[in-house]
Amino acid sequence: MFNSLLFTVMLVVFLGILSQWLSWRIKLPAIVVMSVAGIIVGPVLGIINPEQEFGDMYGPIISMAVAIILFEGSLQLDLREIRDLGKPVFRIVTFGAFIAWILGSLTAHYVAGLSLPVAFVIGGLFIVTGPTVILPLLRQAKLKPRPAKILKWEGIIVDPIGVLLALFAFEIILFFTDESVTLQTLLLFFGAAAFATLLGWGCGRGMGWMFKKGYIPEFLKSPVLFAVVLLCFTLADEVMHETGLLSVTAMGMTLANMHIASMENMRHFKENISVLFISTIFIMLTASIQIETFTEIINPAIIGYVLLMIFIVRPLSIWLSTIRTDLSWQEKTLVGWIAPRGIVALTVSGYFASVLFETGFEDARLLTALTFALVFATVCVHGFSIGWVARKLKLANDSKPGIIVVGGNLFTRELVRALKEMEIPALLVDSSWKKVMKARQGGLSTFHGEILSEQTEYTLDMTPYETIVAGTESDAYNALICSTFTPSMGAKNLFQVASERELASSDEKLTHTVGGRILFNQTATLQNLISQLENGYVFRKTLLTDQYSYDQFKKEIDAEDTIVGVLKAAGHFEPFALDTEIAVQAGDTVVRVSSASREKEKIHQKSKKALRKNGDA
């Protein structure tokens, strides 16, 4: 009943996105969940086999998806990001890649039993990690910026380098084994690689120039860019197979370093497309694996090869290539441990397995099993361990989720002070040096700069912070801050303080469609809050217990008090917003702005009542 190509497409897409959501809910690596899902519906249950059902379209679909994913990843390679990491990154993607190639090839020959020609081809391919596996892991692990940047840059840059090394090894094999292949053929290989690089650079510069000059309208920028990416990839790939990956990487890096303002909006759109492609392609690849492959994987030689690649080859290549760099031993250890292989290794190894077998190398039939064993082992081992290893090496941001408060007025300063007292990481950000100095003199953590500036992205480490509170005197600026950070932080984590004009406005739709969530209550405007603090109001914290509930607390506080938020028993702080009701339980601490004099009067009245009771007794 469901034996149709439409059903296969639906199931692949649905399972891919379901795997992403499930991994988010149960805190498991997404690539692990996707791999397991693909294996279950493919070789285990036999529900689908995308490679057979897609037929001749299977290869081109995979190739185009990989091209888009690699291009989207290379758009993040702004050279300003690694100003302090240029040396180790360069060493890892050059010397480190070369060392990994040699050691991996020798391991494949002496341990897995492959012939030297086949071993050097697959050894070059297996140095790749790639954005399809690295970026999802980095999103989940929340590493500190330095190791995260190194892993991201290596994963994206080494992808095409690994493929080129494999192609180079294959051309050398043909040069020595096939009399029809001459030195001119080898020169053609280097020419094709140079052409692919120049083509990518030219397409990137051309698109950047057209964007800057306004020759492409905003609504067509993303579609045109996608079309040019596919054009760039296909032209290079037609000249020489697999050089298209190098071309799209060069194009993405070129655009990333032209610093075009409108690229930021398109980048978020392409990130969403990339997640969709990664999810579906992983399901397609794992669901297409033959059941016989699993019997080959349990070969002791293959298991030994995988273990040596994980525990010896990768760490050794990183440690040797980063000698005399400023990387700490903890950073070297983490980078040397994390190297999951992904889509590029699976797809390109299939191509080399077929061409090597046709050339006469019988042992090339083992490449599929060898590749899948390494991919699945590294995906699982590194996916499950990255967070634990990072925490042990103190390279993970395992502190409480922090809050960035934008604005240097009295209310924002007192809010940051209250958060600091609750041991919540809080940072006050303002472009006014005078306001920043006033907060800094009060012992608060501050950052002087424009939060919306592109430069701030490279000077302010925002990794520890998951929430932004926009509390400046300008409604439009607050809304712009929240709208700008919506793609990266999520709308539920962006808040802005209301103003008199905003709450009095009859156009309520503006509040719901532009900017962040409005804080506190209908009377708690920024002007009122500042006025209250100037007149003796203070931030107060009340611990709720089984005997003293939230309902009882709300009955006893004054009508003019403002509930700011709740410090949950788990340790994170949730601001109180108009559009939601926080679930408050015993053990939580409610934070409010309250009158100091009235609070003293309440305490005095309670004391008098207690004394009268004792006197009566």
CATH number at residue 154: 1.20.1530.20
Is residue 299 pLDDT above 60, yes or no? yes
How far, in Å, CA of 562 to CA of 553, rounded?
A: 13
The answer to whether residue 192 is domain-embedded is no
Same domain for 543 and 437, yes or no, is yes
Range of the domain at 546: 402-616
Same domain for 460 and 556, yes or no, is yes
The answer to whether residue 464 is domain-embedded is yes
What mean pLDDT comes out for the span 422-429?
Answer: 90
- Kindly state the DSSP code that residue 571 receives in the 8-state scheme: S
Same domain for 306 and 452, yes or no, is no
pLDDT of residue 244: 86
What mean pLDDT comes out for the span 451-460?
Answer: 74
pLDDT of residue 507: 45
- The percentage of the chain sitting over the pLDDT mark of 70, rounded to a whole number, equals 89
CATH number at residue 550: 3.40.50.720
37 and 19 Cβ atoms separated by less than 8 Å:
yes
How far, in Å, CA of 334 to CA of 318, rounded?
A: 10
147 and 334 Cβ atoms separated by less than 8 Å:
yes
The answer to whether residue 218 is domain-embedded is no
The answer to whether residue 606 is domain-embedded is yes
Same domain for 283 and 425, yes or no, is no
How far, in Å, CA of 52 to CA of 43, rounded?
A: 12
Same domain for 309 and 424, yes or no, is no
Largest CA distance in the chain: 113
Query: Domain end: 343, 360, 392, which one?
Result: 392
How far, in Å, CA of 562 to CA of 594, rounded?
A: 7
How far, in Å, CA of 134 to CA of 64, rounded?
A: 19
* DSSP-assigned states of every residue in 146-160: HHHHHHHHHHHHHHH
Is residue 177 pLDDT above 90, yes or no? no
pLDDT of residue 2: 60
Kindly provide the b/e burial profile for residues 264-288, where b requires at least 16 CB atoms within 10 angstroms of the residue's own CB. Answer: eebbeebbeebbbbbbbbbbbbbbb
Sheet containing strand 402-406, edge to edge, reads: 446-448, 426-430, 402-406, 465-470, 494-496, 517-518
Helix 116-125 to helix 367-392 angle, to the nearest 10 degrees?
A: 40
What's the pTM? 0.71
The answer to whether residue 231 is domain-embedded is no
The upper half-sphere exposure of residue 566, i.e. CA atoms within 13 Å in the direction of its Cβ, equals: 17
User: Residue 386: enclosing H or E segment and its boundaries?
Assistant: helix 367-392
How far, in Å, CA of 513 to CA of 519, rounded?
A: 15
Q: Report the DSSP pairing between strands 517-518 and 494-496.
A: parallel
3-class SS at 566?
strand
Cα distances (angstroms) measured from residue 162 to each of 118, 158, 173, 430, 435 = 15, 6, 17, 45, 51
- Tokens at 574, concatenated: 């949730």
Q: Determine which of 265-274, 453-462, 574-583 has the lowest per-residue pLDDT on average.
A: 265-274
Query: Domain end: 340, 363, 392, which one?
Result: 392
Residues contacting residue 473 through CB under 8 Å, at least 6 positions apart: 407, 409, 499, 526
181 pLDDT band, cuts 50/70/90, is: low
Which of the given ranges, 285-299, 411-425, 496-510, has the highest pLDDT on average? Answer: 411-425
Kindly provide the b/e burial profile for residues 114-152, where b requires at least 16 CB atoms within 10 angstroms of the residue's own CB. Answer: bbebbbbbbbbbbbbbbbbbbbbbbebbbbbbbbbbbbb
521 pLDDT band, cuts 50/70/90, is: confident
How far, in Å, CA of 91 to CA of 102, rounded?
A: 16
Is residue 598 pLDDT above 70, yes or no? no
Q: Determine which of 23-37, 84-98, 299-313, 369-383 has the lowest per-residue pLDDT on average.
A: 23-37
3-class SS at 444?
coil
Is residue 615 pLDDT above 60, yes or no? no
Same domain for 352 and 430, yes or no, is no
pLDDT of residue 1: 46
Q: Which of 243, 154, 234 is nearest to 194 (CA)?
A: 243
Same domain for 37 and 180, yes or no, is yes
3-class SS at 453?
coil
- Kindly state the DSSP code that residue 519 receives in the 8-state scheme: B
Same domain for 582 and 456, yes or no, is yes
What mean pLDDT comes out for the span 599-603?
Answer: 54
Same domain for 462 and 521, yes or no, is yes
The answer to whether residue 353 is domain-embedded is yes
How far, in Å, CA of 302 to CA of 5, rounded?
A: 35
Is residue 329 pLDDT above 90, yes or no? yes
Q: Which of 297, 327, 375, 498 is nearest to 122 (CA)?
A: 375
The answer to whether residue 368 is domain-embedded is yes
Query: Domain end: 392, 415, 439, which one?
Result: 392
How far, in Å, CA of 208 to CA of 225, rounded?
A: 10
Same domain for 368 and 501, yes or no, is no
Same domain for 280 and 302, yes or no, is yes
The answer to whether residue 250 is domain-embedded is no
The total of structural domains in the chain comes to: 2
Same domain for 62 and 155, yes or no, is yes
- Tokens at 378, concatenated: 């590294």
* DSSP-assigned states of every residue in 466-494: EEEEE-SS-HHHHHHHHHHHHHHH-GGGE
